[in-house]
Structure 1
């Protein structure tokens, strides 16, 4: 046993857990920061706004498959964390927020920045706790890591009253939290799933974020190859299978392209791995093959049958479940596998003329697919796609207009789709994977919510490229006004930011692009700057309300009804 203060104990715990970054904004560095920097090798990453800390930790957690750590302050410093922690829990990612809270001895008496933070955080986290006994810190930290990582991962919130900061107590040496528990599914369910896959004529594999976090990429690729089974992903599952791979057919729901939708509609078996199949993955459960059997695999038993009742349910870790299926899988004849592979390639070839026409479109104003093609060609492999949330940048969801070429190289938002988290999260992504290139496509609406953190990226020498698809509006919302034949009220920007100039003012490269023949040079210049540790922003003037045909079809159908 050794006497320690609360923040000494927290710093020791974080170090023992292998933490390398804490993202945050200190109100007083004596709370955690001094003990981190003086007693551990952990780096404190100073952001300009507390909400940005969660964005960075979110991306870090996705790419490292371990908790991203956030530090913040009482009152408004806590409330600004709520959106990001909600997104982390929705997106099944482990983020631990540790905050300096209101003093314990004035609790309930109108203390400065008083807030019932635990009640606020309970709906958006897996566990929220306020420290009342300093000696419990080792147990609380151990529990926090175990809860964040196990089952369906998610956020944890820990509040440490500020008047406990200097209180020392006898504490045992920290023992790291329980590592992720992995379970295998029921043997009979495995046999039934393997038999169903072998008997299916047009099987289809859908992968969600649970498959990614499980590290199931090798098992997914092997199953696709052995069966001749196309792979679709939800937005969260992107990065589980290379999108130039022979069985890649893009994404589901709102994000179908023609090739994937055609196979989907004719499927006789859907195998879902690590997805809750929420609204955006299925277009509010409207897209589902009428005659398909359904196999659902998920580590969370509460997810099974949440939206659609499966014919066969496997409760277990995604990677282990797929490995069990592969072991039990009956032999599938080579000619059957070849026929399916050729059918997938035929679907892709049928779509190729549309893809090539979009890639070579030199229209003014610029159309987004032309920009996506340039980034995909010039940045190439080892490029992490940071996803944002808006109408124009949604083009990068539409495979093969943008292809995620390598395993794990995508950071999507969860079902909350909080705007600006992808833009800011790019900093956390670069710190997590410094050898990777990072690109984020964003609308001008989301970019205006994020501008303070350009300086953070420059200060940290994060080579990131943001491509701002600028239509002077909240385009998705405005498109609904267009379809509803309503005036453009409260959706457009009469005064828009000069993003390139703002980027340059914050020590980033800033480039404006207004013609298609300027795109390749701008992307090349951005890539060169990134290699030297300089963030780059490319502000592209795009054609308003030019969306993918499936996006338009889905939205028009809502107004036709």
Structure 2
């Protein structure tokens, strides 16, 4: 077979269903190899969208999403989505084409050092400069992308190598390498800290969701009555309906969850990722920190754990639960009850009578109309803060937020990937700034017969930046936008468009849209 046939056969062996990307001259052999395979190539409207689709697929499924581009500008357009997967710890395999080997030693058309360009944002990347190394390289790319902590890997296939013949076969897949169980000595140190604490608190991070440790975390919290505050990407690890949930850490050093951390005398972080949330923002006072994660903590003055349990997160939590049930140390279980009551009361609110609404008015309506297992994909902007704080999340991986790279433009392509990956309904929440960055992927979604709802919060502004400027200077500049008629824009793609102006219309429009096929709801906000 040709090297391109082998590459695609390896993708089939890895269980890949979709490859998201743009065609190019240098990907011709790969595209025709995919045409004759069980792998579906999804042509998208921009490579950034393809990378975001692969990114969100990886985050939702745990299996590496795959994106494809040609050389030069195709590869550079993938960068943002690959960097997002890198910082959000989402498994992704990027494949880029390259010119023939005979011209890479000199300056030539569209040829840049893609391997060097991708080096800082991938766990591993290499050029496939020999057809007989394709099988090993693809297996390694998937193994490392999915290995805890997951991330992005990259393969570059020169066009002349793609057409060469090879006799090697795809390597069989293997079970993923598991992180080991915690050692007894480290567990005993954690147990001593817990036994001496009166007001311990848990912070659930990205790793609690990513490693499927939610069940063990919930059992630990239920047994110990410890309160839990989640990072944006840890939402749903413990249900926000649970009496132990303090919902989500704010992005600054304020809010009830931050108040609870300030009162705690021991903080147990579970899968906490420093790239997602700066610990300097949640100031833990003199409380000791226990770090439970698959990798050691970053060295940082504001985050210097007393004990680090570098082990399988779920197994660590199960061991701590068993210890607690055997020893029953006494904790103060009432100290956070008032904070919890205040958080719950603050989240539940009715929208104002007519537009412009606030995002916080809209979020409770979305929550009411979405089932617990439905997925909300949030773009980045001022609305992301409101969603993180005020969208109660009941199951892991049902509120998808980019928070490591925090990249605008992820929502619409992310919604497409989510719609292909999950059985429940999918709702995309985006601002007018982030929406138009990748709005063209609505065409891709309609071509694939996707059915999700795009909610666009419209304020004709890069609102989060305006808010920050105004808090610093009392005014803003360089943030104003104009927008097309978004209902007409939606209808031009052949999907339903809504623009509610009263509270009643808002509820009706969202009720009709969610579960009713591909649609867009434009909501004027202040």
Quickly name the TM-score band, shorter chain normalised.
Answer: over 0.9
Give per-residue Cα distances to partners, 1:243-267, cap 9 Å, x unaligned.
Answer: 2122111122416774323322110
Task: Return the alpha-carbon distance in structure 2 between the equivalents of residues 259 and 489 of structure 1.
Answer: 32
Kindly report which structure 2 residues correspond to 1:289-308, keeping only aligned pairs within 5 A, or say none.
289-301=284-296, 303=298, 308=303
SS of structure 1 residue aligned to 2:166:
strand
Q: Secondary structure at the match of 1:45?
A: strand
Pair 1:20–1:272, CA change in 2 (3 A): same
CA distance in 1, matches of 2:192, 2:219: 17
The answer to whether the 8 Å contact 2:415/2:426 transfers is yes
Q: Which residue in the other structure is 2:230 paired with?
A: 233
Residue 491 of structure 1 aligns to a residue whose secondary structure is coil
Instruction: State the shift of 1:403 in Å.
Output: 1.0
Question: Which residue of 252, 274, 283 corresponds with 1:277?
Answer: 274
Number of residues paired by the alignment? Answer: 525
In structure 2, the CA distance between the partners of 1:504 and 1:332, relative to structure 1 (3 Å rule), is farther
- CA deviations over 1:155-188 (Å, ceiling 9, x no partner): 0010000111210022144222562332122221
Deviations 1:357-399 (A, max 9, x none): x43533542122221111111123221121211013421011x
**Aligned match of 2:497:** 510
Counterpart residue number, 2:520: 537
Question: Could you list the per-position Cα deviations for residues 125-174 of structure 1 after superposition, in whole angstroms to 9, with x for gaps in the alignment?
Answer: 11111111110111111111111122321100100001112100221442
Mapping 1:137-536, distance limit 5 Å:
137-176=134-173, 179-254=176-251, 258-278=255-275, 280-282=277-279, 285-301=280-296, 303=298, 308-329=303-324, 331=326, 333=328, 340=333, 343-356=335-348, 358-362=349-353, 364-398=355-389, 401-433=390-422, 435-485=423-473, 487-493=475-481, 495-529=482-516, 534-536=517-519
Instruction: Give the CA RMSD over aligned residues.
Output: 2.1
Give me the whole-angstrom Cα distance separating, in 2, the residues matched to 1:363 and 1:528.
24
- Unmatched tracts of structure 1, length 5 or more: 544-561
Q: Distance in 2 between matches of 1:378 and 1:190?
A: 43
**Corresponding residue SS for 2:247:** strand
| TM-fit CA distance, 1:317 | 2.0
Distance change >3 Å, CA 457–CA 524, structure 1 → 2:
same
Deviates more, 1:321-330 or 1:285-294: 321-330
Q: Deviations over 1:259-305 (max 9, x none)?
A: 323322110111111123347343xx142221211100121236476
- Report the 3-state secondary structure (helix = DSSP H, G, I; strand = E; otherwise coil) of the residue aligned with 1:537: strand
Q: TM-score when scaled to structure 2?
A: 0.94
Q: Give 5+ residue unaligned stretches, structure 2.
A: none
CA distance in 2, matches of 1:263, 1:59: 32
TM-score (norm 1): 0.89
**Deviation for aligned residue 1:453:** 0.7
Contact 2:101–2:158 (CA<8 Å) still a contact in 1? Answer: yes
Residues of 2 paired with 1:353 and 1:165: CA distance?
A: 60
**Are the equivalent residues in 1 in contact too, given 2:95–2:154 (CA < 8 A)?**
yes
Q: Is contact 2:412–2:439 with CA below 8 Å preserved after alignment? A: no
Shift of the 481–8 alpha-carbon distance from structure 1 to 2, 3 Å rule, reads: same
Q: What CA distance in whole angstroms lies between the structure 2 residues aligned with 1:457 and 1:207?
A: 33
**What is aligned with 1:558?**
none
